[in-house]
């Protein structure tokens, strides 16, 4: 099987490519820039942008399956860039799969496509998209997911996977954002951090994509559906944040609570300022970020277990031990100011 991974140079994309090549599959990638890591894996690299249908066509040609992992991720920013990459780009992928008679399309979505204020506890795939999204990222990812699922047919089997908060060795998003939120040994976060959150180790997320690839060879049961993916082991935000800092960054920090109302007001003010200044920033303080830090979000994985035979290949605690073995020297934040302002970490959801 010849498999194309869009966004193969990214954090999750590289792990998907690694697992595919470990299986002996011919693997190619469509990314905007070359990747030395993919070169070492022997992955054929196509350079181009999802918004360019010709570039997508060249990459999709001669493939048997496509794992559409590329996206613009963020918690803030204007809608147009998200729409162009996440929606228009996904439309191009679907159209080129049809044009080149590709039979399998797996879409990397996010559990946040159904997130709503108040949080989600044990949510399953019957939960509809919210009527209003808190950010352009979740709105466009939901729209793109709907396009992929609507494209499911006897000629093109599709599935959408919804991992949440992907982490692991080399994580360029979640742990670095937490580290930036530490001031003088204090982690500045809204609320007390007791809300339960499930996360997804990068190997778990990639493993789910390969399971979906297998199941879609006989798509009668699994095709045309979305599936939540995670560790199936919700922990409190406080535990996750403090242990990730210790294991992945070598930082010992104390939780410093920012009042929820103050954090929410600061997020609203931040969004107003970003709109007025037409800022392109995708990782600024936002209502989506604060809401996901304040409320629970964990999911029922029954459908993935039943239809994909999914089980996490690595547990949460084993993943943390793995992070410890790759931890860099601790950051020196001794000159930072004490806890005094509503700063929160900014990570893709």
pLDDT of residue 11: 96
Extents of the domains making up the chain: 2-166+201-228
Q: What is the pLDDT of residue 329?
A: 44
Mean pLDDT of 286-292: 94
The answer to whether 137 is a known catalytic residue is yes
- pLDDT (average), residues 72-80: 94
Instruction: Name residue, tokens 């590289």.
Output: 14
Q: pTM here?
A: 0.91
Please count the other Cβ atoms lying within 10 Å of the Cβ belonging to residue 181: 19
On average, the pLDDT of the chain sits at 91
Q: How high is the pLDDT of residue 342?
A: 35
Query: Topology of domain 2-166+201-228, per CATH?
Result: Rossmann fold (3.40.50)
Instruction: Provide the pLDDT for residue 347.
Output: 42
> pLDDT for 188-240, tens place per residue?
999 999 999 999 999 999 999 999 999 998 767 789 999 999 999 999 999 99
268, containing H or E segment: helix 260-276
Q: What is the pLDDT of residue 202?
A: 97
CA distances from 213 to 133, 207, 306 (A): 30, 10, 15
Instruction: Quote the percentage of the chain above a pLDDT of 70.
Output: 93
> Is 332 a residue whose pLDDT tops 80?
no
Give the C-alpha separation, 82 to 152, whole Å.
Answer: 23
Residue 127 pLDDT > 80: yes
Q: Find the catalytic residue in 82, 107, 137, 227.
A: 137
The stretches of 107-219 forming alpha helices (DSSP H) are: 136-150, 174-180, 202-215
Compute the distance between CA of residue 194 and CA of residue 37 in angstroms, rounded to an integer.
38
The confidence band for 184, taking pLDDT boundaries of 50, 70 and 90, is confident
Reference 59, options 96, 95, 34; nearest CA is 96
């Amino acid at each position: 099987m010849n498999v194309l991974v869009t966004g193969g140079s990214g954090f999750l994309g590289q792990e998907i490519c690694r697992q595919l090549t470990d299986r002996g599959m011919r693997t190619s990638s469509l990314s905007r820039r070359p990747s030395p890591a993919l070169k070492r894996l022997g992955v054929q690299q196509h350079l181009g942008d999802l918004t360019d249908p010709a570039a997508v066509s060249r990459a999709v040609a001669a493939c048997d399956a496509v794992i559409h992992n590329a996206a613009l991720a963020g918690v803030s920013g204007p809608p147009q860039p998200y729409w162009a990459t996440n929606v228009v780009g996904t439309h191009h992928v679907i159209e080129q799969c049809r044009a080149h008679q590709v039979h399998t399309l797996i879409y990397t979505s996010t559990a946040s496509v159904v997130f709503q204020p108040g949080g989600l506890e044990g949510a399953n795939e019957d939960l509809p998209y919210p009527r209003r999204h808190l950010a352009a990222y979740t709105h466009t990812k939901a729209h793109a997911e709907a396009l992929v699922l609507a494209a499911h047919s006897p000629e093109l089997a599709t599935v959408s996977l919804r991992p949440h908060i992907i982490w692991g060795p080399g994580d360029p998003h979640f742990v670095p954002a937490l580290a930036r939120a530490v001031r003088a040994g204090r982690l500045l976060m809204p609320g007390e951090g007791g809300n339960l959150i499930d996360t997804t180790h990068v190997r778990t997320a990639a493993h789910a994509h390969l399971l979906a690839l297998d199941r879609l060879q006989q798509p009668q049961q699994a095709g045309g559906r979305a599936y939540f993916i995670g560790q199936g082991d919700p922990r409190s935000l406080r535990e996750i944040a403090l242990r990730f800092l210790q294991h992945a960054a070598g930082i010992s920090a104390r939780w410093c609570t920012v009042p929820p109302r103050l954090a929410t007001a600061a997020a609203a003010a931040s969004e107003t300022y970003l709109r007025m200044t037409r800022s392109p920033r995708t990782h600024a303080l936002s209502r989506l970020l604060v809401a996901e830090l304040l409320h629970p979000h964990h999911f029922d994985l029954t459908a993935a277990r039943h239809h994909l035979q999914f089980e996490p290949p690595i547990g949460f605690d084993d993943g943390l031990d793995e992070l410890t073995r790759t931890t860099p020297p601790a950051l020196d934040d001794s000159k930072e100011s004490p806890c005094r302002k509503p700063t929160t970490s900014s990570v893709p959801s």
